[in-house]
Structure 1
Amino acid sequence: MQSLQFPQYTFRFKNSENNVSIFDEIRKKFVILQPEEWVRQHCVQYLIQELNIPKSLINVEKELVINGLKKRYDIIVFYPNGTIFLIVECKAPKITINQTTFDQIAQYNMALNATYLMITNGLNHYYCEMDFKEKKYTFLEALPKLSY
């Protein structure tokens, strides 16, 4: 798999039926290794190892319903009180992050109300802080640490 703009992490892999799978520590199972999954697993490790977010506060690949349509978010990080600290949208490295990507995560956030947003294709990372009062977001250089 392609090198990404994350620190180096160690992963568990499994080969079966001509598919390579990677172990997801959050879902506690092997999932087929696709380019977007490679980015997602790096991002999960980044949250755990670099930002010191407990695994118990991270949720991966869950369904939500927006305007009657079923969608799936990539990663959510909760505050200990259960509100949402961060939504992460992961794309494959070959996918260019553009306005459509921001529109997608903004649509998810209308239902989820996260304080922070992160969009990554593994090569480029964008971070935003929401201002719900002004209905806008501000770009940040990095994500803040999760405060308890």
Structure 2
Amino acid sequence: MDSLNLPAYEYRLDKRDGKLVIFDPIRKKFVVLTPEEWVRQHFIHFLASNLGYSMSRMSVETGNKYNQLQKRSDILLYDEFMKPLVIIECKAPSVKITQNAFDQIAVYNKTLKAKLLIVTNGMAHYACWFDEEEQKVSFLEKIPSLQELKAMI
């Protein structure tokens, strides 16, 4: 797999049914290693190890219904009251981040109402603050740590 613009970590790989799999600490199982999964697992560890987010408040590929359509957010982080706080959309490193990725995460947020929206392909990372009252999104210079995010709320 490609090197990413994220800190390295000690991942667990295995081969099952002829496919390479990686251990997901959130789902607590091995999952097929795709380029998007490579980004997702690195980003989970980056959030937990470098930014202070708790893995116990993360979920992966969480189902979310919007206009009768079933959607899945890649990573969802909850606050201490288990309300959605951060939504992360992961793309494969080869996928260029475009307006479509932001539109996708904005659709998810219509029902989730998270404060922070992040889009990453493992190489480029974009963070947006969502002001629910004004229905306005503004880009942040960097991805805030949990402590910084709490100070913003």
Q: TM-score, normalised by structure 1?
A: 0.96
1:50-74 CA-to-partner distances (Å, cap 9, x unmatched) read: 1121111111112111100111110
Within 5 A, what are the aligned runs for 1:124-135?
Answer: 124-135=124-135
- Larger % of helix: which? 2
Runs of 5+ unmatched residues, structure 2: none
Conserved 8 A contact 2:126-2:143: no
Question: Within 2, Cα distance between the matches of 1:97 and 1:74?
Answer: 15
* Match status 1:67 vs 2:67: yes
What is the distance in 1 between the residues matched to 2:60 and 2:96? 22
Does the CA contact (< 8 Å) of 1:79 and 1:146 recur in 2?
Answer: no
Residue in structure 2 matched with residue 25 of structure 1 by the alignment? 25
| Partner secondary structure for residue 146 of structure 2 | coil
Alignment partner, residue 92 of structure 1 = 92
SS at match of 2:92: coil
Amino acid at match of 1:52: G
Q: 1:29-79, CA deviations, whole angstroms, 9 ceiling, x for partnerless residues? A: 000000000000011001110112111111111211110011111001111
Contact 1:5-1:122 at 8 Å conserved across structures? yes
Q: The residue matched to 1:75 in structure 2 has which SS?
A: strand
Alpha-carbon distance in structure 1 between the residues aligned to 2:145 and 2:47: 10
**RMSD of aligned residue pairs (Cα, Å):** 1.0
How many aligned residue pairs are there?
Answer: 148
Residues 99-138 of structure 1, C-alpha deviations (whole Å, 9 max, x = no match): 1110000000001000000000011100000111221111
The whole-number CA distance in structure 2 between the counterparts of 1:108 and 1:14 is 32
Tell me what 2:77 maps to: 77
TM-score, normalised by the number of residues in structure 2: 0.93
Answer yes or no: is the 8 Å Cα contact 2:129–2:137 preserved in 1.
yes
- Tell me whether 1:52 sits opposite 2:67 in the alignment: no
Question: What is the identity, as a one-letter code, of the residue corresponding to 1:27?
Answer: R
What is the distance in 2 between the residues matched to 1:94 and 1:108? Answer: 23
SS in structure 1 at match of 2:108: helix
The runs of 5 or more residues in structure 1 that have no matched partner are none
What is the CA-CA distance between 1:146 and the residue it aligns to?
Answer: 2.1
